[in-house]
Amino acid sequence: MMKKRVLIGLIATLGALSSCGAGKDRQVVNLFNWTYFIPDQVLYDFRNETGIHVQLDTYDGNDTMYAKLLSGNANYDVVVPSGDFVSLMIEQNMLQPLHKELLPNFRHFDPMILTYITFDPGNVYSVPYALGATGININTGKVSEFEASWRIFEREDLARRMTLMNDTRDVIGGALKYLGYSANSTNPDEINQARDHIIRYWKPNILKFDAEMFGKDFATGNTWIAQGFPEVVMKELEGSEAFKNHHFALPKEGGLIYLDNMAILADAPHPDLAHQLINYILRLDVHAFIMDEFWYPTLMPEAEALRRVAVPYSIEGLFANNYEFRENVGDAVTYYTQAWNVIMQSK
């Protein structure tokens, strides 16, 4: 999952708020969200406008979120799963249908985006929160000639100056697209072809597989090419002279799009308040503010005029470059896991 840009201090501050002034009549909605994925200001403003306090708990990955919900110890209203987990949670009756009449701001979404959502057709159970994608971050001060292609990882002249994500689906998905297959392939032969290509052509040239420090390594000049989310690199470079040398390329063969979504749990204790929170986040000015904080492309055309920052890629650019929404591959996840283990163990 993507690294999130954030105004820090949120959890501690909200915790303090939840412990003071707690009265019987205070309204509280429980939000279970990714770590560092919603600005402090949004929740403060929501509380000030509505009187509803947001109790925030966080997770660092879909698997962590899912396991916590399955444990039966959760008491959450709103959760923010990625698309592949939305479909899984729908199958397991973990989400309740949304009442669209309580979400008038849903109308602001780009209809084109909604037509691409296959994990929840018609957005019966979920609404988009933020869309992101990995691609290739390039230091143009060091690499002046390049092709926007996964082929760049085959360049021996850049050996030890490149990193790939430490992420099964992102890396194997990139190789699948390079070979002409779907990044959501469930065919074991295709997945194994991608595995072998990575081992033979990509791995010998990279410094490491890294999903944690790639932004810092890029910013310090330790690496010049990094697969990853551009906002992570841009956050590290923000305010520095090196920012102007950062170029984010969408490989022409395609890649994976991550769409995180807001949903209400089937056993949510406060579904009405949950709808109010979701509708507030879908307000044009709030959506624009959140997208600015993370350098994400807007999902609402009308919000574009409210943006303050330039984003490194557009949604139209993703589709033009053959990107696909990440989907739940079901039992085929075993093929990916096995292939990844072989990649990690190879010399």
Residues 32 and 121 in one domain: yes
- Domain residues for the domain of 43 are 10-130+258-311
Highest mean pLDDT among 6-10, 71-75, 191-195: 191-195
- More confidently predicted of 9 and 256: 256
Helix (H) or strand (E) holding 268: none
Instruction: Kindly report the CATH number assigned to the domain that includes residue 75.
Output: 3.40.190.10
Residues 163 and 240 in one domain: yes
Mean pLDDT on 203-213 = 95
Mean pLDDT on 220-225 = 97
Whether the predicted pLDDT of 186 surpasses 60: yes
Q: How far apart are CA 105 and CA 280, in angstroms?
A: 8
Residues 100 and 215 in one domain: no
Whether the predicted pLDDT of 51 surpasses 70: yes
Q: How many domains does the chain have?
A: 2
Residue-wise pLDDT tens digits, 101-126 = 999 999 999 998 899 899 999 999 99
Give a yes or no: residue 5 inside a domain: no
Residues 177 and 279 in one domain: no
Q: How far apart are CA 262 and CA 275, in angstroms?
A: 10
Q: Is 173 exposed, middle or buried (0-12, 13-18, 19+ CB in 10 A)?
A: buried
Residues 68 and 171 in one domain: no
Whether the predicted pLDDT of 142 surpasses 60: yes
Residue-wise pLDDT tens digits, 86-96 = 999 999 999 99
Whether the predicted pLDDT of 60 surpasses 90: no
Mean pLDDT on 201-218 = 95
Q: How far apart are CA 299 and CA 215, in angstroms?
A: 25
Mean pLDDT on 291-303 = 95
- In the chain, what percentage of residues exceed pLDDT 90? 86
Give a yes or no: residue 307 inside a domain: yes
Residues 221 and 277 in one domain: no
Residues 269 and 341 in one domain: no
Residues 39 and 125 in one domain: yes
- In the chain, what percentage of residues exceed pLDDT 70? 93
Q: Which amino acid is at 27?
A: Q
Instruction: Find, among 242, 74, 230, the residue nearest to 142 by Cα.
Output: 242
Residues 334 and 201 in one domain: yes
Residues 139 and 287 in one domain: no
At residue 185, the 3 state secondary structure works out as coil
pTM higher than the cut 0.95: no
Give a yes or no: residue 4 inside a domain: no
- 212: confidence class by pLDDT, cuts 50, 70, 90: confident
Give a yes or no: residue 2 inside a domain: no
Give a yes or no: residue 3 inside a domain: no
Residues 190 and 337 in one domain: yes
Contact 278, 108 (CB under 8 A): no
Q: How far apart are CA 291 and CA 314, in angstroms?
A: 12
Please tell me the predicted confidence (pLDDT) of residue 13: 42
Whether the predicted pLDDT of 180 surpasses 50: yes
Whether the predicted pLDDT of 24 surpasses 60: no
Instruction: Give Cα 139 to chain centroid, integer Å.
Output: 23
Average pLDDT of the residues of the chain: 92
3-17, 60-74, 222-236, 253-267: segment of lowest average pLDDT:
3-17
Give a yes or no: residue 334 inside a domain: yes
